[in-house]
Chain A
Amino acid sequence: MGKRVGLEVSFAASEAVRLANVDVIAAYPITPQTHIEFVPVESEHSAMSVCTGAAAVGARTFTCTSSQGLILMSEIVYCTAPMRLPVVMVLANRSLSNPISIWNDHTDVMSIRDCGWIQYFAENGQDVFDHVLISYRVGEDRDVMLPVIVNMDGFNLSHVIEPVELLDQETVDRFLPVFKPEVVLDPARPVTMGAIVLPTCYTETKKAQDEAVKASMPAILKIWKEFGDLTGRYYHPIEEYRTEGAEVLLVTMGGIGETAMWAVDQMREQGRSVGLLKIRLWRPFPFKEFRKVALKAKILVVVDRAVSYGGPGGPVASELRSALYDEPKRPHVVNFIAGLASRDVAPVDFIAMVDKAEGTLQKGMGPEYEIYGVRE
């Protein structure tokens, strides 16, 4: 088994990439992703093109980016998934311009929400390290064959030093076999990839893509179990913290979940009925697992880290509302948008959000959402 070391989380990601015996890495440097090793290309658009092309000939590929870089590569990001090419990307989540911000929130990844990749949100350095390896195993599974994004909060995770238990090469090799896709681009056996599809068939291709992402869930669960048996670290699409009997559930995605645990501890000490629901897997969305936990609560306090301008609030809350809509007895969803551009979300802020949500419920339905802590 591996050793436990203090490691900057970006380095933990690159260490996992090294252990995964990746064939092709193409990336373009952008803050806060710069600390991962890269082979230079002239842009992120080219980086994703290189990875997609290399995956098509059967290479294990890796890229990493952030914010504007993701937006620049997004044209190709949307091509990779329907072509069923299991590229792995670490995305150091950062705000989108304008105004320019290099700091952390989820506005970048939410802009490509519907790109068809498996999307996972890591919470700490160990989580990032583990999920680089898990992502290759999941993505390359013959029943899956999809690219995977491992989201890690920029700076708040990417630049902090955390204790990480590394795995040795032998263990990784046992968990992650050599990538052998069924079909590759090979002049000796010519095939066409990425062809045009006319309106007569496009609808059918999109149905197939939707089903492919949904069908990846059993493989993800199975591989998480296997990884847990190997390392003692078990992951779940929805994670609960002190939810037993809780009337109010905080809902988070990404690194702020760990801060929310502190807030829950404090509120539990005061005898308040508050727990925490953490969404780890964003696509495919774990509807069944989410409803199972959420339906026991009276209020969900959903903390979003992106804005849908002129829309229904934060992207996470609006999806959760939709996921609960058909339930006869559903919790009230109160949505706060917080932590934009790395603005601190401290335990005291989570407590304030819970206070406000409870007040809202007593007074009747509140506003759809609130941008938390904004100066007025």
Chain B
Amino acid sequence: MKKELEYKWTDFEKGYVIPEPGTSRDYHTGDWRSQRPIFDHERCIKCGVCWIFCPDSAIRFDNEGYAEADLTYCKGCGICARECLPGAITMVEEEG
């Protein structure tokens, strides 16, 4: 696929349609996060409420079934931490 900076204004499909599916994986939109969620396995009950509420589908489950954040896409909004029933998620500042 063409690099972003190679696009001229005449290069887009009509309506900016992206004919190739699944290209959102190429864009790492977690770059502008200022906080990240930390998951406490002692408290996590694997209920998946964080997965339901995450507006960016950025929660996944590890091999043992514990929730974790996909930091490639997590924007650090904190909704998971707010909704987590047993209080297993805390938000910490990103450094730098």
Residues in chain A within 8 A of chain B (CB atoms): 82-85, 145, 182-183, 190-198, 200-201, 203-205, 207-208, 211
Residue B95 lies at the interface, judged by CB distance under 8 Å to chain A? no
A208 engages B9 (CB within 8 Å): yes
Residue B96 lies at the interface, judged by CB distance under 8 Å to chain A? no
Residues in chain B within 8 A of chain A (CB atoms): 4-5, 7-19, 21, 23-24, 27, 29
A193 engages B15 (CB within 8 Å): yes
Q: Report A-chain residues with C-beta under 8 Å of the C-beta of B5.
A: 200
CB distance from A282 to the nearest CB of B (A): 22
A83 engages B16 (CB within 8 Å): yes
A207 engages B14 (CB within 8 Å): no
B12 engages A204 (CB within 8 Å): yes
* CB contact under 8 A between A191 and B9, given known A196-B27, A196-B29: no
Q: Report A-chain residues with C-beta under 8 Å of the C-beta of B17.
A: 183, 191-193
Contact partner of B16 among A190, A195, A203, A207, CB < 8 A?
A195
Q: Report A-chain residues with C-beta under 8 Å of the C-beta of B24.
A: 192, 195
B27 engages A198 (CB within 8 Å): yes
Q: Report B-chain residues with C-beta under 8 Å of the C-beta of A204.
A: 7-9, 11-12
Q: Report B-chain residues with C-beta under 8 Å of the C-beta of A182.
A: 14
CB distance from B17 to the nearest CB of A (A): 5
Q: Report B-chain residues with C-beta under 8 Å of the C-beta of A194.
A: 16
CB distance from B32 to the nearest CB of A (A): 11
Q: What total of A-B pairs shows CB separation below 8 Å?
A: 59
Contact partner of B7 among A192, A195, A201, CB < 8 A?
A201
CA distance A275 to B10 in the complex (A): 42
Q: List 27 A-B contacts (CB under 8 A).
A: A82-B16, A84-B14, A84-B15, A145-B15, A183-B19, A192-B17, A192-B18, A192-B21, A192-B23, A193-B15, A193-B17, A193-B18, A195-B16, A195-B18, A195-B24, A198-B4, A200-B4, A201-B7, A203-B9, A204-B7, A204-B11, A204-B12, A205-B12, A205-B16, A207-B9, A208-B10, A208-B16
Q: Report A-chain residues with C-beta under 8 Å of the C-beta of B16.
A: 82-83, 193-195, 197, 205, 208
CA distance A82 to B13 in the complex (A): 11
CA distance A13 to B23 in the complex (A): 42
CA distance A200 to B8 in the complex (A): 11
Q: Report A-chain residues with C-beta under 8 Å of the C-beta of B4.
A: 198, 200-201
Q: Report B-chain residues with C-beta under 8 Å of the C-beta of A82.
A: 15-16
B9 engages A211 (CB within 8 Å): yes
